[in-house]
A and B are shown apart, each in its own frame.
Chain A
Amino acid sequence: MVDITQEKVENVGPAEVPEMELYHAHSWWTKYVFCQDAKVIAIQYGGTAVAIGMVGLILSWVMRLQLGFPETFSFISPEAYLQFVTMHGMIMVIYLLTALFLGGFGNYLIPLMVGARDMVFPYVNMLSYWIYLLAVLILVASFFVPGGPSGAGWTLYPPQAILSGTPGSGAGIVLMLISLAFFIVGFTMGGLNYVVTILQARTRGMTLMRMPLTIWGIFTATVLALLAFPALFVSAIMMTLDSVLGTSFFMPAIVEFGEQLAYGGGSPVLFQHLFWFFGHPEVYIVALPAFGVVSDLLSVHARRHIFGYRMMVWAIVGIGALSFVVWAHHMYVSGMNPYFGFFFATTTLIIAVPTALKVYNWTLTLWRGDIHLTLPMLFSIAFIITFVNGGITGLFLGNVVVDVPLSDTMFVVAHFHMVMGVAPILVVFGAIYHWFPLMSGRMLNNAMGQFHFWVTFLGAYLIYFPMHYLGFVGVPRRYWEIGETSFITTPIESLNAFITVAALIVGFAQLVFIYNIIVSVFKGEPAERNPWKATSLEWQTETVPPGHGNFGEEAPVVYRWAYSFSVPGAVDDYIPQNVHPDDVKKIAAAEGD
């Protein structure tokens, strides 16, 4: 049960598991490089993810330049465009967002928030990062092989991905597949850690229903990832075999440019099922941690409990479960049995209900709160707006028959950027502004932060909101150039140029953000301990940033949920999870509860 009404002395059971023995680093190398401390691993993950994310960002500028000003940049050939699209999409979804939310925030926050001293398998956790780094390097290497990186689209659909009409169909695609396989191996090592740590290493009193929603989001996302990534893993292996050894898992009889190929009997649609069996949960692997984090940001900065905590937990778990039975909504026009459409449209629209409830509860958390318009709060508000927008266009695409005219158009590009690009990234930013003082002991510069926020939020909205309408017109995605057509009656050049300019400005704002981080790490205003007056355990450590082992001599003992803000009768407007009920300062005149 949740401590909704609380403040009786809760009985806190004795420790059942003895304190874990920590691995202590002995040299500079094991302390900062081959480090087993989840906090260091988190920063390694985060730094690598942001670095490769910058590559993804730069690729997006180049693509936008081509779309906004076609025939201006001769270095963007049709081949190169497709390669940029592919690498951009894959980098953003997998190597940036998945790695950042789970490897980055997961590693940093899980042990701290559940009151553990570290992950339960620190060595495997360390390996996880190094394998991730290897995966990133293999991916980057594909830029430099003959033929360049794959241009098959981030969905990598065969037969196209491994046939010669697609750029990078030789070494490029094979490196992509191998890199993905390594990513998954590395992720699995980390993922098992996150799950076991949350289940087994919570401190005394930290019941599941007292965990902050951040942990619930990361936990559920990790379970999804552990179940979904294997589908991508096998399809990557099978496609590698098709490409290298000439097997035909996904390859039917094919006549390529007039020439009969030796393939036969395989199924391209099978690949799509495997891909989206992974790919749809992947959307939630990115979204659920964002849901969790934003719940906590909203609560802390509105000085109010999250509204409907139990409902929020069950919505996360329910969305996670449902996300495994909606995958074929990406395949309505794939040529699969059309009767699947009925089933998958229904499941997809059902998922909208728990999702909408989460939105209501976020807004109801603001309602009658005491809203501090800090940067984390601003980013959270922007998240709500962009997420609602992107969620609603999901109702268009999920409703099978509406998807028919809109699939594979710019509407889809606008939709998924809004819902899984912009919205979660806004949460990432909010989270960084929120936890940076914990990680570094310093505050980020507020003026630069304000600039970053407004340009990013409004700019991204201006990029993607009008883009939906190009989809209604019928402009297809993954087009190097649309050229002359008869169906576009109102010219779209001006809109495309506008979007490109907006994208470049938004991109520039990210440089300001990175500059802010670098400067603030060294020169930022020193942060107070717990500057946001938050209740969760990560802020109750002895030192900031928390040292090796996270907590002092005694691990914290938890007496309540993480949302005791503005509790009636208490003097302070927040009561940390680990403050003994007898130590809570009460207003003398109050009911004396």
Chain B
Amino acid sequence: MWVAIIVVLVALGSLVFHLMTPWWSTEIASNWGSMDLTIDITFWVTGPAFIIIVLFVAYCIYKFRAQSGAAEAAPNSNHKASYEPENKKLEVWLTVGTAIGVAILLAPGLVVWNNYVTVPDDAVEIEVMGQQWQWGYRYPGADGKLGTTDARLVSGDNPFGLHLDDPNGQDDILVEGDDLHLQLGQPVNVLLRSLDVLHDFYVPEFRAKMDMVPGLVTFFWMTPIRTGRFDILCAELCGTGHYAMRGNVVVDEKADYDAWLAEQQTFAQFRASLQDKSKNVKSVAMNDVIEDKTDGGSPVSPVAMNAAMNTVGPMPAHGAATR
């Protein structure tokens, strides 16, 4: 008897927790409300199924439990089980019903996925680049085009590995150690790149996420729908500093966004500034995490310094991780 009651309580307790939980999805800040909707649909289809099945089990326990005490079997008891090995009709109905339920989940899911992988024409491109354990951002600049890149070209004075002879890259705007800014209502195609290991660009309020894979450019697109400053988390295990690989994204009104963008350095300006500073940087103490080893003692990029100083949390040093 009380076994049945506990089983009922498990079902009801789950339901009550689900309805009352203070822990739920964050207030959405992107166009992917359709993902939340798909989750809701999934709850509506599967939740009742769960409750019904568990309650049915409880009913069976209550109704068909042996009367003869727990441990020994009861041959000849008048409570003998019924003998009905198969019931074709029932099995067919259950199959059909389940298939319908599954189709109700899958159909909207695939529609939304189709949207997710189809980047609209008016989306602007920006790039997010991950490396252990920090984020960097690149905007296409005045020409609206991102320059091409190659990991082999990455060095202290070319932190994104841009092809120096690609004119599209010269006006690209590079941001390291600062927030990512996005413009309210403007669809963006976020191109994702990694220099070292897998990372994953994840903003809970945006719902969207995608891994960043060295050697590949991956992407997702979204439109920010409310202003604010949100956390960026790394959602793919990337080593000791994974938990601390944080950043922030700020969604601005157009005016604020333009003003912010205008203050940022282009790749060409950045390289020019390096020339000026190259004589007096040697004295800066850098840890070996970001030290430029390609040409000993040569200029250290202020971008990289900036990044090192802005890193969030108790960042384990390179040396500590290898020990």
Residues of A within 8 A of B (CB): 2, 4, 78-79, 82, 146-147, 151-153, 155, 157, 159-160, 163-167, 169-170, 252-260, 264, 266-269, 302-305, 307-311, 333-335, 338-339, 341-342, 345-346, 349-350, 352-353, 356-357, 359-361, 363-364, 366-374, 378, 381, 384-385, 388-389, 392, 395-396, 399-402, 404-405, 407-409, 446, 458, 461, 465-466, 469-470, 472-474, 476, 478-483, 485-487, 489-490, 492, 495, 532-533, 563, 565-568, 571-574
B47 → chain A closest CB, angstroms = 8
Q: 10 smallest A-B Cβ distances: which pairs?
A: A252-B215, A474-B204, A165-B239, A304-B81, A335-B218, A160-B197, A366-B60, A338-B117, A566-B81, A399-B109
Residues on the A chain within 8 Å of B124, using CB: none
Q: B35 touching A268 by the CB < 8 A rule?
A: no
Q: B86 touching A308 by the CB < 8 A rule?
A: yes
Q: Which of B171-179, B229-237, B254-262 contacts A (4 or more CB under 8 A)?
A: B229-237
Which of B60, B151, B209, B242 meets A252, CB within 8 Å? B151
Q: A469 touching B64 by the CB < 8 A rule?
A: no
Residues on the B chain within 8 Å of A384, using CB: 53, 57
| Of listed A338, A401, A461, A574, residue having the most chain B CB within 10 A | A401
**Does B5 make an interface contact (CB < 8 A)?**
no
Which of B38, B50, B70 meets A402, CB within 8 Å? B38
Which of A253, A469, A481 meets B151, CB within 8 Å? A253
Q: B3 touching A378 by the CB < 8 A rule?
A: yes
**Does B276 make an interface contact (CB < 8 A)?**
no
Which of B54, B198, B231 meets A487, CB within 8 Å? B231
Q: B21 touching A255 by the CB < 8 A rule?
A: no
Q: B235 touching A476 by the CB < 8 A rule?
A: yes
B85 → chain A closest CB, angstroms = 4
Residues on the A chain within 8 Å of B102, using CB: 349-350, 352-353, 395
Residues on the A chain within 8 Å of B237, using CB: 82, 152-153, 155, 157, 160, 478
**What 1/0 mask marks residues of chain B from 203 to 230 whose CB sits below 8 Å from any chain A CB?**
0110111111111101000000000011
Q: B57 touching A363 by the CB < 8 A rule?
A: yes
Can you show 8 pairs from A to B with CB atoms below 8 A apart?
A: A252-B214, A258-B293, A304-B83, A353-B95, A357-B95, A370-B77, A401-B116, A473-B26
Closest to B205 in A: A487
**Does B200 make an interface contact (CB < 8 A)?**
yes
A343 → chain B closest CB, angstroms = 10
Q: B209 touching A333 by the CB < 8 A rule?
A: yes
Q: Which of B140-148, B264-272, B313-321 contacts A (4 or more CB under 8 A)?
A: B313-321
Q: How far is the CA of A389 from the CA of B57 in the complex (A)?
A: 14
Q: A335 touching B213 by the CB < 8 A rule?
A: yes
B316 → chain A closest CB, angstroms = 6
Residues on the B chain within 8 Å of A485, using CB: 231, 233
Q: B210 touching A333 by the CB < 8 A rule?
A: yes
Closest to A360 in B: B94
Residues on the A chain within 8 Å of B238, using CB: 160, 165
Residues of B within 8 A of A (CB): 3, 6-7, 10, 14, 17, 21-26, 32, 34-36, 38-39, 42, 46, 49-50, 53-54, 56-57, 60-61, 64-66, 70-77, 79-87, 90-91, 94-95, 98-99, 102, 105-106, 109-110, 112-114, 116-117, 131-133, 150-152, 154, 156, 161, 192, 195-198, 200, 202, 204-205, 207-216, 218, 229-231, 233-244, 288-294, 304, 313, 316, 318, 320-323
Known: A147-B322, A349-B106. A255 touches B85 (CB 8 A): no
A487 → chain B closest CB, angstroms = 5
Known: A78-B241, A400-B109. A367 touches B60 (CB 8 A): yes
Residues on the A chain within 8 Å of B38, using CB: 399, 401-402
Residues on the A chain within 8 Å of B10, using CB: 385, 458, 461
Q: B204 touching A4 by the CB < 8 A rule?
A: no
Which of B17, B74, B233 meets A465, CB within 8 Å? B17
B79 → chain A closest CB, angstroms = 5
Q: B60 touching A357 by the CB < 8 A rule?
A: no
Q: A267 touching B109 by the CB < 8 A rule?
A: no
Total contacts A-B at CB 8 Å = 380
Q: How far is the CA of A311 from the CA of B92 in the complex (A)?
A: 11
Q: B291 touching A4 by the CB < 8 A rule?
A: no
A313 → chain B closest CB, angstroms = 12
Q: A255 touching B196 by the CB < 8 A rule?
A: yes
Q: How far is the CA of A339 from the CA of B195 in the complex (A)?
A: 25
Closest to B72 in A: A372
Which of B24, B54, B212 meets A473, CB within 8 Å? B24
Residues on the A chain within 8 Å of B87, using CB: 307-308, 364
Residues on the B chain within 8 Å of A482, using CB: 243
Known: A79-B240, A256-B196. A402 touches B109 (CB 8 A): yes
Residues on the B chain within 8 Å of A370, using CB: 64, 66, 74, 77, 79-81
13 additional contacts (CB under 8 A) given A256-B196, A308-B87, A372-B65: A78-B241, A79-B240, A255-B196, A341-B117, A342-B110, A353-B98, A370-B77, A385-B54, A399-B106, A402-B35, A485-B231, A486-B229, A487-B26
Closest to B239 in A: A165
Which of B90, B99, B113, B321 meets A342, CB within 8 Å? B113
Q: B214 touching A469 by the CB < 8 A rule?
A: no
Which of B24, B60, B80, B289 meets A469, CB within 8 Å? B24
Known: A160-B198, A160-B237. A396 touches B213 (CB 8 A): no
Known: A257-B289, A384-B57. A487 touches B243 (CB 8 A): no
Q: B151 touching A254 by the CB < 8 A rule?
A: yes
Residues on the B chain within 8 Å of A305, using CB: 83, 85
Closest to B24 in A: A472
Q: How far is the CA of A353 from the CA of B106 in the complex (A)?
A: 13
Q: B50 touching A392 by the CB < 8 A rule?
A: yes
Known: A254-B196, A388-B50, A472-B23. A402 touches B42 (CB 8 A): yes
Known: A269-B213, A371-B65, A372-B66. A572 touches B235 (CB 8 A): no
Residues on the A chain within 8 Å of B95, using CB: 353, 357
Closest to A563 in B: B85
| Of listed A163, A255, A372, residue having the most chain B CB within 10 A | A255
Closest to B67 in A: A370
Known: A147-B323, A363-B60. A480 touches B26 (CB 8 A): no
Q: A469 touching B23 by the CB < 8 A rule?
A: yes
Closest to B82 in A: A368
Residues on the B chain within 8 Å of A492, using CB: 23
Q: How far is the CA of A267 from the CA of B216 in the complex (A)?
A: 9
Known: A352-B102, A370-B80. A308 touches B85 (CB 8 A): yes
Q: A257 touching B73 by the CB < 8 A rule?
A: no
A194 → chain B closest CB, angstroms = 27
